[in-house]
Structures are given as C-alpha cells and as structure tokens.
Amino acid sequence: MEEPVILYSNVNVHQSDKLVLSDINFELQQGEFVYLIGRTGAGKSSFMKTLYGELPVKEGQAVVCGYNLPTLKKKDVPYLRRKLGIVFQDFQLLHDRNVYENLDFVLRATGWSIKEKRNERIGEVLSEIGLNHLTTKMPYQLSGGEQQRLVIARSLLNNPPLIIADEPTGNLDPETSDEIVKLLIRINREHNTAILMATHNYQLIDKYPAKIYNCTNSTITQEKGIYVKM
C-alpha cells in the first residue's frame, strides 16, 4: 500500500506565538478527494500553509509527499512545493505576464531548461483545462472562471501527486463554481491526484459528496457518515 500523501499525527500549529490548532490527526491517501470545512478564522488556511512550508510544524509528526515537515530545512521548501499544486481563492497570477508567460515562469523556476519541453507541457495543461485558445491573453482579460482555470493549469505543470485548493470557488458565481469543482474532480479521477479542498460552499459538498474534515474547536476532525467515493 502506498504511503499517504499527507499524514499528520498529534500536530500543533502556531502562528507567531499563538497556538492556532492543536492535536491534529489527518490523513489523505493518494487519489482521495477530501473537503476541509470550518468557519472563517477557524484555522483552515493556517493548516494548509503548514502543508507547503509557509508555516513551520514544530510539534507532532507531519509528512507531506514524503517530506518530514518538523525537520524540513528552508532550502528544501521549494522541492516540497514542486510536489504540490496550490490553487488560491485570489488566483495570485502574475499580472504583467500573459497566460503562456505565467505558466512558463513556473516551469523555468522549477528547472525546465529546454524551451521545447516547456512549450509542450504548457500546451498539454492548457488543453486539459480548456484555455489553449487564450495563450496571449493577460489575466485582466480573463473572466474569474478562466483565471481560476489558469491557476489550476499552473498547479498541474509538474504532475503533482497532491493539489491543495484553498477556497477555489470563493470569488466565483455558482455556475462557474460548479465548473471548477467538476474540473478538480476530473483531475482527481483521471490522474489519481489527491485533492484537499477548503470550502464554505455546502451546496457544492451536497452535490459532489466526499470525505469531510471539519476545522472547529481549535482542531481538525473527520466528519462521520458523509463519505461517498468519487
């Protein structure tokens, strides 16, 4: 059996000197799709920041994509992040670069030195998310849904075993939100990519049920009896 892509045992999460979450026990297997719910300020984003090394893990056991977080050195954080795809609510695109250049920037930064291979990979991910006709458009020329699709394309560039989606539909209308979740589910199924999606959108959870973890009472616990395998 494969090792989980995320395995947390008795983890405490601190932001500055404040204890934000305590005694986290969380597991995500390769190919799973899991929702993370909880009210604003409950600590969801803090937890997710520990997954990609933005916040350190100092207490407990935590492994993400084979990296042991409590002993992770700063110089190794970029290598951890190459194993992850990260989808943000506010997109975090480079607004002075077009669609192609946003993706090319990431590939060059992660060691893709041959231009032909970068072009090929960019074409693959843009075709997969339906934006291959918009390579020269700037981010401000794209709709919210198109920008989020571009972010998802960016997250796929290095074929990560795990995608972390932090409120990916938070700035989108209901119809577009539905399309984005369906896209993530398709990626999960076709690539066996594990996906952790933080959301407040319970209508989407009802429509596309999966395992749920709840960030509440300063910890994270699995909801019982609300799991339908996607």
DSSP 24-49: EEEEE-TT-EEEEE--TTSSHHHHHH
> Checking DSSP bridges between strand 33-37 and strand 194-198, what pairing results, if any?
parallel
| Model pLDDT, residue 89 | 78
61-104 confidence digits (pLDDT tens)? 999 999 999 999 999 999 999 999 999 877 789 899 999 999 99
Mean pLDDT of the chain: 91
Pair of tokens at residue 154:
């960016």
37-49 confidence digits (pLDDT tens)? 988 888 898 999 9
| Model pLDDT, residue 102 | 95
Measured distance CA(28)–CA(8) in Å, rounded: 9
Pair of tokens at residue 201:
């959108």
Pair of tokens at residue 71:
């002993």
Bridge partners (DSSP) of residue 213 are 36, 222
Q: Where are the beta strands (DSSP E) in 47-200?
A: 59-64, 67-68, 84-88, 162-166, 194-198
Number of other residues whose CB lies within 10 A of the CB of residue 65: 21
137-160 confidence digits (pLDDT tens)? 999 999 999 999 999 999 999 999
- Return the residue matching tokens 């993706």: 103
Task: Tell me the chain's radius of gyration from C-alpha atoms.
Answer: 17
Backbone angles phi, psi at 112, to 5 degrees: -85, 95
Half-sphere exposure at residue 181, Cβ-oriented, CA atoms within 13 angstroms: 27
Question: What's the pLDDT band for 225 if we cut at 50, 70, 90?
Answer: low
The domains found in the chain, sorted by start residue, are: 6-83+160-222 (3.40.50.300)
| Model pLDDT, residue 230 | 47
Which residues contact residue 107 at a Cβ distance below 8 angstroms, ignoring those fewer than 6 apart?
118, 121, 122, 157
Q: Are 210 and 199 in contact (CB under 8 A)?
A: no
| Model pLDDT, residue 17 | 83
Q: For the chain, what's the residue count? A: 230
